[in-house]
Amino acid sequence: MRAASSSSAAALWRVRSLSLPNGARSAIGAAAKPASGAAKGERSETRPSYRSGYYSRSLITRVGTLELRVPQDRMGRFSTELFERYQRSEQALVATLAEMYVQGVSTRKVKTITEELCGHSFSASAISAINKRLDESLAAFARRPLQEPFVYLILDARYEKVREAGVVASQAVLIAVGVDGDGYRQVLGVEMANRESRSSWKDFLLDLKTRGLRGVELVVSDDHAGLVAAIGEVLCEAAWQRCYVHFLRNALDHLPRKHADDCLQELRWIYDRRDLTEARVDLAAWLAKWGGRYPRLTAWVEDNIEQTLTFFRLPRQHHKHLKSTNMLERFNEEIRRRTYVARIFPNTESCLRLIRALAVETHENWMEANRYLNMDDLREHKKLTLRQAA
């Protein structure tokens, strides 16, 4: 909301029309070549179509409206998706803000912000058209078959405020990220639930399995009782890694308000050890050192820490990525940054629309980036383990 009240920010948002850079013009022109079978002005007897000037198209962004000149051909063969990917989340954000205004659940500032972000206000028919196009593509992403196996699965939930039947309540957003056999991250599922319960997580995981989820060897999550129970029921063949970051936060509940900072810092160092043997040696030393001063904490750690040491069965190169849910937490931070604008969503659909749009954008970026993990390390680790067992 501060963007509407800050004069400097408002001046930035008031950009109404930006010229398209030469590089973008060239990219659109190059994209039109396959449709016509020839470059602009080029003669070719085998070309399937001919260029026929340009048409104007407005691309709405949060820094103003870009007026584009898009090439067209006589047979109508050419269409560009050059700007579609990054416009999806923009459309979702715009649709959410505008829907709040139309349904009468927003403040006066929502109209101002919508106009500042997009350069104009939206009619109900325009909102309906945006939502329909967006919902179709997002539903296809959410229902897509999971064709390859996913060795690692990371699960987490966050909460958003949603208005239902005139009452504002927090609803859980359940998120699953997998690492495939080539080491790339993929967003596998994003769903809404009334609360983070065993039944909601179980339904979520069963839906993933129905879509083809298989080959999971390790699941990483926090220790939410409903989530852990659902993992045990649906993914009983997989090992479970309790996020050590959440574990260290939970440890604070077993310490007095004034405690030595070194205590938890030394416990944190255990997770940097090369293997389980080194970790157990350090754990024994830590328990002996702090047991007399903080008996409640050391007893709790001794009873629960094994759940956080599962990652040591993986190759060492994978440890830092899979001993916590930090990778998914970073995605949650991006969601939080974007949903902060809406504050309270007018309904569940608008909330899911925005978060799924962000999920698609993140998913595509991950698939085009360098692989997250080298899965050859896992294969070699398994061979070594088998040789040592023999």
Q: What is the largest distance, in Å, between two alpha-carbon atoms of the chain?
A: 89
Identify the DSSP state of 19.
P
pLDDT band of residue 12 (cuts 50, 70, 90) is very low
pLDDT at 368: 93
Instruction: Give the residue, 21 or 91, on which the prediction is more confident.
Output: 91
| pLDDT, tens digit, 9 for 90 and up, residues 209-233 | 999 999 999 999 999 999 999 999 9
pLDDT at 34: 52
Place of tokens 């010229």: 19
Q: Which of 10-14, 30-34, 112-116, 302-306 has the lowest mean pLDDT?
A: 10-14
Q: What is the mean pLDDT of residues 101-109?
A: 50
Long-range contacts of 165-174 (CB under 8 A, 24+ apart): 168/344, 169/194, 171/195, 171/348, 171/351, 172/196, 172/200, 173/335, 173/351, 173/352, 173/355, 174/200, 174/201, 174/204
pLDDT at 340: 83
Q: How many angstroms separate the CA atoms of 339 and 233, rounded?
A: 32
pTM of the predicted structure, to 2 decimals? 0.75
pLDDT at 388: 86
Q: What is the mean pLDDT of residues 353-366?
A: 92
Chain centroid, CA 374 distance in Å: 21
Q: Between 348-368 and 84-102, two packed helices, what is the crossing angle to 10 degrees?
A: 170
pLDDT band of residue 16 (cuts 50, 70, 90) is very low
- Backbone φ and ψ for 149, nearest 5 degrees, come out as -70, 150
Q: How many angstroms separate the CA atoms of 98 and 110, rounded?
A: 8
Q: Is the pLDDT of residue 355 over 70?
A: yes
Q: Is the pLDDT of residue 10 over 50?
A: no
pLDDT at 49: 54
Q: Which two tokens stand for residue 346?
A: 């007018």
Q: Which of 19-33, 182-196, 359-373 has the lowest mean pLDDT?
A: 19-33
Q: Phi-psi region for residue 119, left (φ > 0), alpha (ψ -120 to 50) or beta?
A: left
Contact 312, 275 (CB under 8 A): yes
Place of tokens 């539903």: 139
Q: How many angstroms separate the CA atoms of 221 and 325, rounded?
A: 6
| pLDDT, tens digit, 9 for 90 and up, residues 38-81 | 555 565 555 555 556 676 767 655 545 667 676 666 655 545 55
Q: Which two tokens stand for residue 44?
A: 């070719």
pLDDT at 3: 40
Q: How many angstroms separate the CA atoms of 141 and 137, rounded?
A: 6
Q: How many angstroms separate the CA atoms of 71 and 354, rounded?
A: 31
Identify the DSSP state of 66.
E
To the nearest whole number, what is the mean pLDDT of the chain?
81
The SS3 assignment for 49 reads: coil
| pLDDT, tens digit, 9 for 90 and up, residues 134-167 | 888 899 999 999 999 999 999 999 999 999 888 9
Q: How many angstroms separate the CA atoms of 90 and 117, rounded?
A: 10
Identity of residue 173: V
pLDDT band of residue 107 (cuts 50, 70, 90) is very low
CA of 41: how far to CAs of 31, 150, 263, 376, in Å?
15, 49, 74, 50
Q: What is the mean pLDDT of residues 361-373?
A: 94
pLDDT at 190: 97
pLDDT at 292: 95
pLDDT at 146: 97
pLDDT at 131: 74
Number of helices (H) and strands (E) in the chain: give both, helices first: 16, 9
Residues forming beta bridges with residue 163, ordered by sequence position: 168
% of the chain residues with pLDDT over 90: 55
pLDDT at 234: 98
Q: Is the pLDDT of residue 196 over 90?
A: yes
Q: Is the pLDDT of residue 309 over 80?
A: yes
| pLDDT, tens digit, 9 for 90 and up, residues 20-49 | 444 444 444 555 555 455 555 565 555 555
- Backbone φ and ψ for 377, nearest 5 degrees, come out as -60, -40
Identity of residue 197: S
The SS3 assignment for 358 reads: helix
Note the residue count of the chain: 390
